[in-house]
Structures are given as structure tokens and as C-alpha cells.
């Protein structure tokens, strides 16, 4: 069963690159603050690189003006996430999270079987709004869709 509105985000350790590889706990990242966590099936993939991440980069300051942190999640290793962030000109302060083993994705119940594309298990395309680590909104895309997890849609909802 997938996570629902009102549920607390599962406690999982993810990776990111800051000053080297850093282990970050979801509770430490999201407790006590408001945040949008959006997930993409894969860094450097077409929709993710042409629309999804660029939308959040473009509207990053709009979220910050509302007091909302922005975090991007993908089932990719931290080095890929760092290279993708650099290529997409991700602003300082946007959190790029590696769920390399899919631990958070599985805990959320939002896995996508992309093995037909040689990508294995990935995260579905989704966005959730958290307040103090609790899911207040959850928007999961249907396969092949890109609408309800976009930065523009999320800005209208929060």
C-alpha cells in the first residue's frame, strides 16, 4: 500500500553530495519544516530533464518565498544526481537526493517497474507536500503523464 495523506514520511537514510557523500535522514531533512518532495523516474531522462526538474529550478524562489523547501528524489546514485544538478543549473538550496537502492521509494509504495527500458525499479513520478514530516498532499502521475507533479501545479496547491 502506498503512503497516504496524513501519514508521516518513513524514516530512511538517503545520500547526497555536499562536501563528499553525505548520509541524510528523512526526519532530519523534513521534520520541523514545510517541503515539496518530488520524484522522477531517472536523472537525464527526457521528461525529467526537459520539464520536471527545470520547472522546479525555474520556480524555486517562488516556493522559497512561501517558506517551502524543495527536494528532488531519484533512484540514481549520488554522483549521477550531482552531475544532473550541475547540468540543470540547480540553485543552491534545492536538495538533490539519491535513493540509490530505492529504500524510500519502496517504503512509500511508489515503485515503478522500468525493467522493460533497462532501468530496473525506479520511483513513480510524484510530488508530495510535507509539513513537519507529515504528508499533506500527494500527487502521483499515471504512467506516461506529467501534470500533477509539476512545479506549476504544486505552486497552485500549496
Q: Is pLDDT of 3 > 90?
A: yes
Q: Is pLDDT of 56 > 90?
A: yes
**C-alpha span between 126 and 25 (Å, rounded):** 20
pLDDT digits (tens, 9 = 90+) for 81-139: 999 999 999 999 999 999 999 999 999 999 988 888 877 788 999 999 999 999 999 99
Tell me which of 29, 40, 48, 70 is the catalytic residue. Answer: 48
Reference 42, options 117, 109, 104; nearest CA is 117
- Residue 121 has a pLDDT of 85
Complete domains list, the chain, with CATH: 13-157 (3.40.30.10)
- Residue 72 bears catalytic tag: no
Residues 6+ away with beta carbon under 8 Å from 109: 1, 2, 3
CB-CB contact of 45 with 78 (8 Å): no
Amino acid at each position: 500500500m502506498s503512503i497516504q495523506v496524513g501519514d508521516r514520511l518513513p524514516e530512511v537514510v538517503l545520500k547526497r553530495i555536499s562536501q563528499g557523500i553525505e548520509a541524510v535522514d528523512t526526519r532530519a531533512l523534513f521534520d520541523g519544516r514545510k517541503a515539496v518532495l518530488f520524484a522522477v523516474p531517472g536523472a537525464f531522462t527526457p521528461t525529467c530533464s526537459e520539464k520536471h526538474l527545470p520547472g522546479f529550478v525555474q520556480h524555486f524562489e517562488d516556493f522559497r518565498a512561501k517558506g517551502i523547501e524543495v527536494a528532488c528524489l531519484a533512484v540514481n546514485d549520488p554522483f549521477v544526481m550531482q552531475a544532473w544538478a550541475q547540468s540543470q543549473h540547480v540553485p543552491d538550496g534545492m536538495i538533490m537526493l539519491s535513493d540509490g537502492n530505492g529504500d524510500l521509494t519502496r517504503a512509500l509504495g511508489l515503485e515503478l517497474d522500468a525493467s522493460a527500458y533497462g532501468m530496473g525499479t525506479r520511483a513513480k513520478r510524484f510530488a508530495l507536500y510535507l509539513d513537519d514530516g507529515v504528508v499533506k498532499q500527494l500527487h502521483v502521475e499515471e504512467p506516461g503523464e506529467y501534470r500533477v507533479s509539476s512545479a506549476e501545479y504544486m505552486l497552485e496547491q500549496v
